[in-house]
Chains A and B, each alone.
Chain A
Amino acid sequence: FAQPRNTDSYDYYNYHTISEIYRFQDMLVAENPNLVSKVVIGQSYEGRPLNVLKFSTGGTNRRAIWIDTGIHSREWVTQASGTWFAKKIVTDYGRDAALTAILDNMDIFLEIVTNPDGFYYSHTRNRMWRKTRKPNRGSSCIGVDPNRNWDAGFGGPGASSSPCSETYHGPSAHSESEVKSIVDFVKSHGNIKAFISIHAYSQMLMYPYGYTRTAVKDQAELHAVAQRAVSNLASLYGTRYRYGSIINVIYQASGGTIDWTYNQGIKYSYTFELRDTGRYGFVLPASQIVPTARETWLALMTLMDHTFKNPY
């Protein structure tokens, strides 16, 4: 098998294993030493590095934007899109005025494989694997839903207490190192102003809350920005998204990522559910990766640009 020699020859139109994505990250850093660095924020349960790409043009502890993809491992189009986003950022910096302005003033953190053990397992043993891979005491069922493991209504309705369920919340909030590492990073950084967590599939852009019907105090603004983001997304291929708060657009879900980040004071907390062709579900054909990433990028830029222009 041929390995790409650089990130230009990386095949963005196909799915890749975790080792190929790790290699991609190292190549991107090596090719762009003044813009990209790799931050290892922790280790997964099985000891894999939790790599975050930091895009920065300098400064100290600048205001920052966080993006993560692939916390649910079987949602392969998200990790693939994350890889495309990483390349897009280095390609567009200096060429695209909006992105350049953002990066001249803010940092972007991108975690492409947020659940590496699950991702590896989905490639090697079970393509349908969604959770982490930590064993559960007293149960033969493995793993926790890392999107129910956050300290925001933890253990409430919309999460399961059964380790065999796909929505098992885990023994305690932040019990999963994949989650705790982000928690520690966000807290220690202290200046993250937007947090965008990307899932697949069903074409939705959502903001908090999922664990309570109480509206967030910034609802009007978050709603208006979401509307603009999905409109820009649709401008490319006509892909239609629903948008709103998690509990209104989907259902009650406790312990979710962006509920926690919002409660930490990160106003621009959003979560995506990427493209759904209505034919393939999690097995979206590789030919859809780049179109999905391209349209999502337009929405991401809307969110990032708004964050940049509306400091708080």
Chain B
Amino acid sequence: KETFEGHQVFRIVPKDDVQLSLLKDLEDMFEFQLDFWKDVTGVGTPVDVRVPLDSLESFKSHLETRDVDYSIMIEDLQAVLDQEQEEMDSAAR
């Protein structure tokens, strides 16, 4: 079973058209192995993106050097998934 230890989900709210364009470019970029949960739509609309552990530092640096603010929506995806599985198992019992 594929696990997601250390994967984080970022929430990024593009402030202007420049940031919007930057995020759109990221959608087509395979370098960071990003998984867009909520796609880039417009200025002021949140974009949610799952970032694998291996890409975390470089991705953060990529955003910070371009002055793009972000928050972490999910700190450790696997922890949330483990909890979800635990709840399912518990309910089934």
Binding site for B on A (CB under 8 A): 1-2, 11, 13-16, 124-128, 164, 166, 201-202, 249-251, 276, 278-283, 285-286
Contacts and interface: CB of A to CB of B under 8 A. Distances in A.
A283 B73 contact: no
Given A278-B46, A281-B48, A286 B40 contact: no
B22 interface: no
A126 B2 contact: yes
8 contacts: A14-B92, A16-B88, A126-B2, A128-B2, A279-B74, A283-B77, A283-B81, A286-B88
A14 B80 contact: no
A283 B81 CA distance: 7
B38 to A, nearest CB: 5
Given A14-B88, A127-B81, 10 more contacts: A1-B92, A1-B93, A15-B84, A124-B1, A201-B37, A278-B11, A280-B80, A283-B74, A283-B80, A286-B87
B69 interface: no
B41 interface: yes
Nearest to B30: A164
A131 to B, nearest CB: 12
Main secondary structure of the interface of A (DSSP, over half): loop
B41 A2 contact: no
Contact of A251 (B11, B39, B46): B39
A281 B9 contact: yes
Contacts of B91: 11, 13-14, 286
Contacts of B46: 278
A58 B48 CA distance: 46
Contact of B84 (A13, A166, A283): A283
B36 interface: yes
B49 to A, nearest CB: 10
Given A279-B73, A286-B87, A250 B39 contact: yes
Contacts of B74: 279-281, 283
Interface in B14-45: 30, 35-41
B59 interface: no
Contacts of A11: 91
